[in-house]
Amino acid sequence: MHQAPSSAAQNGVLVHQRPNWCVRGAGKTGEGYADWRVVFSRSPRSTLFLVLWLVVAALATASLGVVLLVVGQPVGILLVVLAVLPVPLAVQQCLQARHFAAFRLGLFSDRLIVLAGPQECQVPWADIETATLGDTSEWAAVAWPKVRLTGRLTVRSADGSTLRFRPVEVGLAPIACRDLVLQLRDDEPSRLRLPAYDPALPLARRPARSGEQLQPLL
């Protein structure tokens, strides 16, 4: 596993060291497709819609409170106070949308790449031993053989390195993301349909397929 210089735990991606929906385009190039999108990110649409709804609700409540105060109704004070309550949640949702924008997942013919802000982790397909949504904590090991599924995908390499990330943070359904990673690990013909990674074009600058709970298929 290759990791760009950064902290070991940041933005939801944890790397421990031991010592876009694939869209088929119209034009083919060779045995693959020239314009598949292989980079995924989460769409901020639902988050921004919630922010808009909160702002509208706050303004409507505040306006009603002001009208009641003008006509001499003390209950207007309560409404004005209530109008302030959605503001912190709206700010939180805006920060969350910005957080999602820093996450990307790239699938290429030779490697898997996870980008979380300044941190970029690369794992060659040949090095991947396991990919699981199961709880890998020490408590879960004690509870074996019972397996508790989580929303975090754990990719373990042959050298003992571990990459963890949440598929929902790149717009993918967790189970579909896990199945796709395992398919690309085991099926070379499927990998060859993806473009090779070009270091000259950083993941952050590539066009991405954005969405929520996408079910990527090859």
Q: Within this chain, do residues 186 and 131 fall inside the same structural domain, yes or no?
A: yes
> Which of 92, 121, 93 has the alpha carbon at shortest distance from 105?
121
| Structural domain total, the chain | 2
Percent of the chain predicted with pLDDT > 70:
77
Cα-based torsion angle of the residue sequence 184, 185, 190, 192 in order, rounded to the nearest 10 degrees: 110
Q: Within this chain, do residues 135 and 174 fall inside the same structural domain, yes or no?
A: yes
Decide: helix, strand or coil at residue 1. coil
pLDDT tens digits along 180-189: 999 999 999 9
Q: Within this chain, do residues 15 and 53 fall inside the same structural domain, yes or no?
A: no
Would residue 34 count as lying in a domain? no
pLDDT at site 159: 86
Residue 16: pLDDT above 50? Answer: no
What is the span of the domain harbouring residue 52? Answer: 46-98
Would residue 25 count as lying in a domain? no
Q: Where are the beta strands (DSSP E) in 102-157?
A: 103-107, 111-116, 119-124, 128-134, 149-157
Would residue 83 count as lying in a domain? yes
pLDDT tens digits along 79-131: 888 888 888 888 877 777 776 777 889 999 999 999 887 788 889 999 999 99
From 60, 83, 98, the end of a domain falls on: 98
> Which of 180, 188, 174, 178 has the alpha carbon at shortest distance from 216?
180
Would residue 41 count as lying in a domain? no
Q: How confident is the model over 40-59, as a mean pLDDT?
A: 81
126: Cα separation from own chain's centroid? 23
pTM of full prediction above 0.75: no
pLDDT at site 181: 92
Would residue 14 count as lying in a domain? yes
